[in-house]
């Protein structure tokens, strides 16, 4: 799992206008039996996602595996 930001992660106080750009969450899926999402790595973007694999309005994390 990772976060992608096109221009890099800014440091210090940053005006809101400077935060506009590409940002995505990278998630890894183990897949599901009987259909659904295939196993693999996917990028999740927000409204108007073009470069990402999936456009999402809301992402709900149901479990986290730190191993």
- Could you report the per-residue pLDDT of 15-62, keeping only the tens digit for each? 766 666 667 888 888 777 666 778 888 888 887 777 888 888 888 888
- Domain count along the chain: 1
Residue 47 forms part of a structural domain: yes
Residue 14 forms part of a structural domain: yes
In this predicted model, what pLDDT tens digit does every residue of 5-14 receive, in sequence order? 666 666 778 7
Per DSSP, the residues of 4-52 read: EETT----S---GGGG-S-EEEEEEE---TTSSSPSEEEEEE-TT-SSS
Residue 67 forms part of a structural domain: no
Residue 61 forms part of a structural domain: no
Look up the domain containing 9 and give its range. Answer: 2-55
Residue 65 forms part of a structural domain: no
Q: Whole-model pTM?
A: 0.51
pLDDT for 52 equals: 86
Residue 11 forms part of a structural domain: yes
**Phi, psi angles (nearest 5°) of residue 45:** -115, 170
């Amino acid at each position: 799992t990772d976060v992608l930001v096109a221009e890099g992660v800014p440091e210090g106080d940053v005006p809101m206008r400077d935060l506009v750009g590409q940002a995505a969450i990278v998630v890894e899926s183990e897949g599901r039996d009987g259909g659904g999402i295939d196993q693999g790595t996917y990028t999740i973007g927000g409204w108007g996602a073009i470069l990402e694999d999936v456009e999402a309005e809301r992402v709900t994390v149901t479990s986290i595996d730190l191993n």
